[in-house]
Amino acid sequence: MMRISDLQAKDIVNMQTGKRLGNVGDIDINIETGQVEAIIVGGSAKMMGFFNKEDDYIIPWPNIVKIGSDVILVNLYDQEG
């Protein structure tokens, strides 16, 4: 079992580039099925505590390769990250 707070503490790394994307800022949950659809990684642009939504990475659940003890490995081919 894993909590959202556990996910937020993990670094997210794109396996295609080796780049660290950040940490989980939010998750999308399908309220009809209760399944996680995507994780959202806040972009680096912050202003007074607010995230610029255009800088967010939305990572669909199928793109998550592995959730380890301290890192989440993802495959992002079409995004710069």
Domains of the chain from N-terminus onward: 4-74 (2.30.30.240)
Mean per-residue pLDDT pooled into runs of 10, the chain (81 residues):
86 93 92 94 55 73 95 82 47
Beta-bridge partner residues of 38:
28, 60
Residue 46 confidence (pLDDT): 45
Q: 22: which 2 tokens? A: 């950040």
- CA–CA separation, 79 and 22 (whole Å): 14
- Non-local CB neighbours of 38 within 8 Å, separated by 6+ positions: 27, 28, 58, 59, 60, 61
- CA–CA separation, 62 and 11 (whole Å): 18
Beta-bridge partner residues of 47:
50
pTM above 0.85, yes or no: no
